[in-house]
């Protein structure tokens, strides 16, 4: 298993998943966890550090924010290991014939 992805709160049934327990079980097997918090963040206090989430995402429009804007929380050491999905702009620090060096977080993404 490369990663576990789970919703914090279901938008269909309103089920609140025991994400802390799920994260603990995944981490016991060294599996990182991404939590979709789109339904939780507008209605609950969320402490990503206390739950030990590796990644936590949500969209702004669920809180009457702008469409097309989202948030990705990630543990720094994991984000530093990840290559950007797309290249260009301020995400690049230096380009040579041998390699590309990415900018520091958060500009890398």
Report pLDDT for 100.
86
**Would you state the structure tokens that stand for residue 85, as one six-digit string?**
């999905």
pLDDT at 1 over 80: no
3 band by pLDDT with thresholds 50, 70 and 90 = very high
pLDDT tens by residue, 81-108 = 988 877 777 888 888 899 888 888 888 8
Q: How many angstroms separate the CA atoms of 21 and 25, rounded?
A: 6
pLDDT tens by residue, 11-70 = 899 899 999 999 999 999 999 999 999 999 988 999 999 999 999 999 988 877 888 889
Q: How many angstroms separate the CA atoms of 43 and 94, rounded?
A: 42
In contact, 101 and 93? CB cutoff 8 Å: yes
Residue 28 CB contacts under 8 Å (≥ 6 apart), including other chains: none
Q: What are phi and psi of 90, to 5 degrees?
A: -75, 0
């Amino acid at each position: 298993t490369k990663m576990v992805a789970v919703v914090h709160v279901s938008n269909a049934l309103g089920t609140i998943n025991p994400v802390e327990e799920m994260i603990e079980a995944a981490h016991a097997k060294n599996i990182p966890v991404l939590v979709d918090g789109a339904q939780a963040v507008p209605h609950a206090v969320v402490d990503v550090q206390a739950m030990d989430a590796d990644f936590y995402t949500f969209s702004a429009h669920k809180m009457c924010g702008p469409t097309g804007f989202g948030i990705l929380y990630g543990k720094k050491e994991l984000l530093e290991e990840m290559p950007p999905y797309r290249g260009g702009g301020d995400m690049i620090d230096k380009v040579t014939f041998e390699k590309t060096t990415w900018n520091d977080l958060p500009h890398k993404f």
